[in-house]
Amino acid sequence: MRRLPNDAYVYATYRLVDREDKLKARADGIAVGLTVGSWTDLPAAKQAQVQKHCGVVERMETVEHLADGQVVADITIGYPVINFTPTFSALLTTVFGKLSMDGIIKLIALHIPDALRQQFPGPKFGVQGVRDRLGVHDRPLLMSIFKSCIGNNLDELTAHFTEQALGGADLIKDDEIFFTEAYATPEERVQAYAKAAERTRQETGKRVLYAVNLTGPVFELRERARRLASLGAGALLLNVYAYGLDVLADLARDPEVTVPIMAHPAVSGALYAAPHHGISADIVLGELLRLAGADIVIYPSPYGSVTLPREEGERLVAALRRPGPHKPCLPAPSAGIHPGLVPVLLRDFGTDIIVNAGGGIHGHPGGATAGGRAFCAAIDAAVRGIPLPQAAENSPALAQALQKWGYREA
């Protein structure tokens, strides 16, 4: 094993199970097999040429001893940067292509040096850019999710949008399953909602951005994204792992896609959720989405109906924020979020987050407008350090929400 210069290699760490006496051979096999294949039988001159492309074993560490000589071990391999092009197909195939099928093994850490990282687009807007578009800089943002979309006509959808906007949401996003255009196309929705958003702005003084689900055949997405942006979309929602990371990167690089991109985690659980296989959530929903150009990243919160363990969520958020050549992303912890959880969200993730709610808004006893107002009151109270029951004395909407869902103080 050798200590390598960080800027010359991409480092991937794998947690695997194997016999302890076979670890070195396993590590050497990964380093060579995922880079140059087999080179030891080549002529000396050719070996020298190939050597600079060969992976190297950086570290091996036994984590746990099992029965029959088996161990859980972490192995870190360095892959020469010169082997990569700035595409996710190259990155993922190199560090975890055929290796992902080789028994009990999970990619748990990925270090990409800035020399390669800066060749990927990263967020076009990031935290500051999204805040600038809304004119909101001193509190978490609130996002409402359409929960009644399929089967509604344009007038009904616009009424639902208006109801959410009047509640004080900063962003309103489509449900990720909204693909059908039988009742209203994305273009029609963007135009109708833009008019509704202006009407509510005149009433409430608040701007609201509509995140439209970007759908259609993959080779038509760029043109549709440009068109939706020009028609007044506030943001684009993309099911990144259904379409592919390189699709997101292509949109993020396009100067004519002039709105933030919101990454939805649909399908990603197939990559990160298994304890001993796949790729860790902080890589799948943190490192890679930021690299590809997501401005906003939706991910399962530690508290609700679909959960990510708190420690994993913290590593994910750290990946979206850590210093580097790219702008930080806005995390949007989701699933089962209600107003009573707002203080805990701020405690765990700070104020540069999006409080993202569907049922917590639409399931409010007073309807979606009251649901949004309850969240606004909870956010204001949490930022000011006021206990939610005290804030609820001046907010009937928050009082109803706390009565229905309860609350957790930080």
Provide the annotated active-site residues. Answer: 98
How far is 111 from 19, CA to CA, in rounded Å? 26
In the chain, count of helices (H) and strands (E)? Answer: 19, 13
Rounded to 5 degrees, what are φ and ψ at 382? -65, -40
Tokens of 80: 């020469």
Helix, coil or strand: residue 72? strand
Return the SS3 of 350.
coil
Residues 246, 253: Cα–Cα separation, whole Å:
10
Place of tokens 């909204």: 178
Q: What is the rounded CA–CA span in Å between residue 345 and residue 360?
A: 14
Backbone φ, ψ for residue 363 (5° rounding): -90, 5
Separation between Cα atoms, residue 142 and residue 404, nearest integer Å: 20
Spatial separation of the C-alpha atoms in residues 193 and 160, rounded to whole Å: 10
